Amino acid sequence: MRYDFASDNAAGMCPEARQAMLDADSGYLPSYGNDVWTERASDAIRAMLESACEVFFVFNGTAANSLALASLCQSYHSVICHEQAHVETDECGAPEFFSNGTKLLLASGENGKLHPDEVRRLVTRRSDIHYPKPKTLTMTQPTECGTVYTLAELEELRATAQGLGLKIHMDGARFANACSSLAVAPGLITRSAGVDVLSLGGCKMGMALGEAVVFFNLELAGDFAWRCKQAGQLASKMRYLAAPWVGMLRDGVWLRHAAHANSMAQQLSQGLCQITGVKLMYPVEANAVFVTLPGPGIERLRQSGWAFYQFIGSGGVRFVCSWATTQSLVDELIAAVAAALI
């Protein structure tokens, strides 16, 4: 099977991330994050976000999201998320587990985006003691549907959340793709958008593994190191988790790779839309393309050796581009889809 477009985590390490990991692989250094690479990586993230935020490195996105949400809630609280959010559909209950029972309340909204009216409805429909007390809103940027919240949409959500007394978490597993798509300073769509805690994605933008948890709200960060340790998320050789961030954030490498992935997705969607029977499900605003294909076509595409996921929408197929996607791969996939639909 060919996994070229199955997900951006099917791609390997980008050269800059690999080189930084090799650079860190020298000599004896303090463990558990007390090393110079961890310090440099944290500083690079602070510089990128133009904020004196607190930074923690964890192994994956499920840990980043669920530990972040646990730090924002007590067990009797609730978290408002989109019904297609990764925290709801793809984390095996980890947010509920690590927060000792905090409930997710599901909101609908077009194109994977939370609608402020839906958020307000979920929060205000009950205020009695029997309802899990709404405490946090979590949004995914870019969304699970490959769309990107605009500055205006972020501002509306910020105003809604703060008006309702909700803290804000952002799942930025593909944050680089959102920054590239919007072409704005990263701080503008996080710190300035009222985000208290950000899960900042490293893996899908080209690192071997690792995500960062970024606290703009410093009060919430107080015990987070202990939470990470208890959850098995404190790397002893932390330098290997941290160093790739230094390589990625140097000279805009991360944004160049994200821009490339986004532009490959644009070309893929344009090519696919020329094919009779292919329908785009969502606007392509980051590095993912969702299409519907006639059922037999899906089967033929799979039989011709291409792997892809179909977990969102009935009949929907997802293709994801990465730093490693090439023009010729895009052309190959377009040709394979066309052949599958003949």
Which residues of the shown chain bind ligand PLP in the complex (CB under 6 A)?
A: 60-62, 65, 86, 140, 144, 171, 173, 203-204
Return the number of the residue (198 or 334) whose C-beta is nearest ligand PLP: 198
Nearest distance from C-beta of residue 168 to ligand PLP, angstroms: 16
* C-alpha closest to that of 136 among 192, 189, 195, 215: 195
Residue nearest to ligand PLP (CB): 61
Return the number of the residue (192 or 233) whose C-beta is nearest ligand PLP: 233
Longest pairwise C-alpha distance within the chain: 60
Nearest distance from C-beta of residue 140 to ligand PLP, angstroms: 5
Nearest distance from C-beta of residue 143 to ligand PLP, angstroms: 8
Nearest distance from C-beta of residue 210 to ligand PLP, angstroms: 9
Return the number of the residue (215 or 300) whose C-beta is nearest ligand PLP: 215
For residue 315, is it left (φ>0), alpha (ψ between -120 and 50) or beta?
left
Q: Which amino acid is at 291?
A: V
Cα–Cα distances in angstroms (integers) from residue 254 to residues 58, 71, 92, in the given order: 19, 28, 29
Interatomic CA distance for residues 314 and 72, integer angstroms = 34
Q: Which amino acid is at 214?
A: V
Return the number of the residue (51 or 177) whose C-beta is nearest ligand PLP: 177
Interatomic CA distance for residues 233 and 57, integer angstroms = 8
Nearest distance from C-beta of residue 120 to ligand PLP, angstroms: 24
Return the number of the residue (65 or 78) whose C-beta is nearest ligand PLP: 65
Reported in sequence order, the residue ranges of 197-287 that DSSP labels E, i.e. its strands, are 197-201, 211-215, 279-280
Looking only at the bridges linking them, the beta strands covering 54-58 and 103-107 are unpaired
Return the number of the residue (65 or 300) whose C-beta is nearest ligand PLP: 65
Cα–Cα distances in angstroms (integers) from residue 66 to residues 62, 171, 190, 198, in the given order: 6, 10, 18, 12
Torsion angle of C-alpha atoms 192, 193, 198, 201, degrees rounded to 10:
-90
Nearest distance from C-beta of residue 21 to ligand PLP, angstroms: 18
Return the number of the residue (61 or 297) whose C-beta is nearest ligand PLP: 61
Return the number of the residue (35 or 171) whose C-beta is nearest ligand PLP: 171
Residue 1 burial (10 A CB sphere; 0-12, 13-18, 19+): exposed
Nearest distance from C-beta of residue 265 to ligand PLP, angstroms: 14
Return the number of the residue (38 or 84) whose C-beta is nearest ligand PLP: 84
Residues in a beta bridge with 316: 292
> What are the tokens at 118?
């839906």
Nearest distance from C-beta of residue 184 to ligand PLP, angstroms: 20
Ramachandran angles phi, psi of 242, nearest 5°: -90, -40
| Bond prior to 142 in cis (omega within 30° of 0) | yes
Nearest distance from C-beta of residue 89 to ligand PLP, angstroms: 9
